[in-house]
Amino acid sequence: MSRKSTLRDVQKAQTRQRLLEAACHIFNRKGIEAATISDIVARAGASRPTFYLHFQDKREVLHELMSQYFTHAIPLLERFPGPQPTVAELKGWLCDSGSFLEKERELFDLLMQVIGSREPGQPTYGLEAMTIWIQKLGEKAPAFAAAVSKQNPQATARAELLILQIAWATIKMLRDRSDEVTEATLEVVAVALHEFLSDASLGAGKPSAPAGVGVAAT
């Protein structure tokens, strides 16, 4: 590959990422439905033809942004202190989760917007995020592996509720890390995680095999 084509590829990738970042900002500021292609290219300092060289429409942009969020979360999930960590270790990991969301604030806000949307036909990225988290944690802890198998409905239900609790705890950290209620929430969620991971009825299986991470197009 020539130096010229390599440089061209780098510039193309940079333009694509600039369009994605601009779209994320516009989606969060105006809402996904209200945002226009013109808004996005103006923010990115690009043109409409350039946009269409990279994406078909806003839906494809949203899909790639959500894919980026899920991919960025993988290192955090791989640091989960399984299979049977202490409450203190779990609390430390929850704090790491808060730091992750602070770094990925715009993508997380976009995910929350999609989850809260009542628009018909809106992609189910919230459910996909939950599934990915449970799958990756299942590689670290037998209790989550039991939830992945879906042979134990109670394990699956408890795992899903715990993911929601983790999300709420990290949201509270974003709002006010020093608040006493936030600190109590971290403790409560860490204890709930510990009880789930220590449940002998869920620990008979082995952690699940690694699963690929992807977002299904809808």
* Same-domain status, 104 and 51: no
pLDDT band at 216 (very low <50, low <70, confident <90, very high): low
Mean pLDDT, residues 8-36: 95
DSSP 206: P
pLDDT digits (tens, 9 = 90+) for 93-137: 999 999 999 999 999 999 999 888 766 666 788 889 999 999 999
CATH number for position 68 = 1.10.357
What pLDDT is attached to residue 178? 87
**Pair (93, 197) in one structural domain:** yes
**Shared domain check, 152 and 216:** yes
Distances from the Cα of 91 to the Cαs of 13, 78, 146, 217, in angstroms?
38, 16, 22, 34
Q: Residue 162: is its pLDDT beyond 90?
A: yes
Residue type, 109: D
- 19, 64 Cβ separation under 8 angstroms: no
- 47 and 69 share a domain? no
Q: Give me the number of domains the chain comprises.
A: 2
Shared-domain flag, residues 33 and 120: no
Q: Is the pLDDT of residue 208 over 60?
A: no
* Whole-angstrom distance, CA of residue 66 vs CA of residue 148: 22
